[in-house]
Amino acid sequence: MTTITKINLGKNGPLVSKLGLGCMRMSPIWGGPVNDENESIATIQAALDNGINFLNTGDFYGSGHNELLVGKAIKGRRDDAFISVKFGAIFYNNQWIGLDLRPIAIKNFINYSLVRLGIDTIDLYQPCRLDNSVPVEDVIGTIADLIKEGKVRHLGVSEITADQLRKANDVYPVTALEIGYSLADRQIENDLLPTAKELGIGVVAFANTAEGLLTGEMKAPLPAGDYHNHFSRFQGDNLIKNLEKVDVLKQMATAKGYTPTQLAIAWVNAQGDHVMPLVSMSKRSRLPENTAAMQHQFTADELSTLDKHFAQGAILGGTYLQR
């Protein structure tokens, strides 16, 4: 399998793989069946064997199920893995019902995470969102305290604005920004990405396939009961027009002997040395394809074709990543 290079996460930050493994879909975050746990654990271990050390989880992914899974996968090989954990989202009956960012809650959350993961220190700890319920200074200050205590190594943030990023970084140096980014969702290029670059903050970019849209495997209309139907991007005419855009990616991929998913990952990878594609993979069979995507180089012409067809606003309708 392709060797994955290592990068510093942020300015002088920790050494991590340029490709990250997203573990979220190994657990039933929005309800639904649990994936094959043995296969999920084998996938994490195969990723580690192949130099993908960045593992992403959250304490609310499957109400702790995901952390338990990651804990089982890294047992006996803690040093091979870089563990990134999000906290703060409160789910009830598979519904997101709010955020809890109170310092007292964070100090409670982390102890449970450490036990479930079976480790003493979390490498990157991050609020999954920020809101106005608790001052940014208090949320970030609490993580700074946890760093002093040795329970956390680095501070991360997720899905925030450029202003919030500056504010957080003023309280304590932010190592990484986790953010949805793909050919289909480029709004962050206006403000947030330049801010992260200016501040020397690593970018952990998820949803590279735009929730499957860019895999080229979707057909309109989607089956009833598919969760994508909740979002306007995947409904009616929007989906038909969006899939016409995806055809451009499909044709380019076919001509080059790649899959659309590989080009979608490669495009995110091409956005800078400080940008890490964070990709969900729940089965080992995904690894060769997705790691090979990291070798792909676009020509300038190909990049400008993609720029033209996937300009901001080209993909119609929204997803849960409303900005």
CA distance 72 to 109: 19
What's the min distance (Å) between Cβ of 273 and ligand NAP?
Answer: 20
Q: Widest CA span of the chain, in angstroms?
A: 55
What's the min distance (Å) between Cβ of 133 and ligand NAP?
Answer: 17
Residue 159 or 302 having the CB closest to ligand NAP: 159
The total of other beta-carbon atoms located within 10 Å of residue 163's CB is: 12
Q: Output the residue with the shortest Cβ distance to ligand NAP.
A: 22
Residue 254 or 304 having the CB closest to ligand NAP: 254
Site residues, ligand NAP (CB under 6 A): 22-25, 56, 86, 128, 158-159, 178, 206-209, 211-212, 215, 261, 278-283, 286, 289-290
Residue 47 or 110 having the CB closest to ligand NAP: 47
Q: DSSP string of 258-287?
A: --HHHHHHHHHHTT-TTEEEEEE--STTHH
Question: Pairing between strand 152-158 and 176-180?
Answer: parallel
| Catalytic (active-site) positions | 61
What's the min distance (Å) between Cβ of 217 and ligand NAP?
Answer: 6
- Token pair 């890490």 is found at 276
Over the Cα atoms of the chain, what is R_g?
19
Residue 60 or 134 having the CB closest to ligand NAP: 60
Number of alpha carbons in the 13 Å side-chain half-sphere of residue 55: 33
What's the min distance (Å) between Cβ of 264 and ligand NAP?
Answer: 8
What's the min distance (Å) between Cβ of 166 and ligand NAP?
Answer: 19
- Whether 24 contacts 89, CB under 8 Å: no
Residue 91 or 301 having the CB closest to ligand NAP: 91
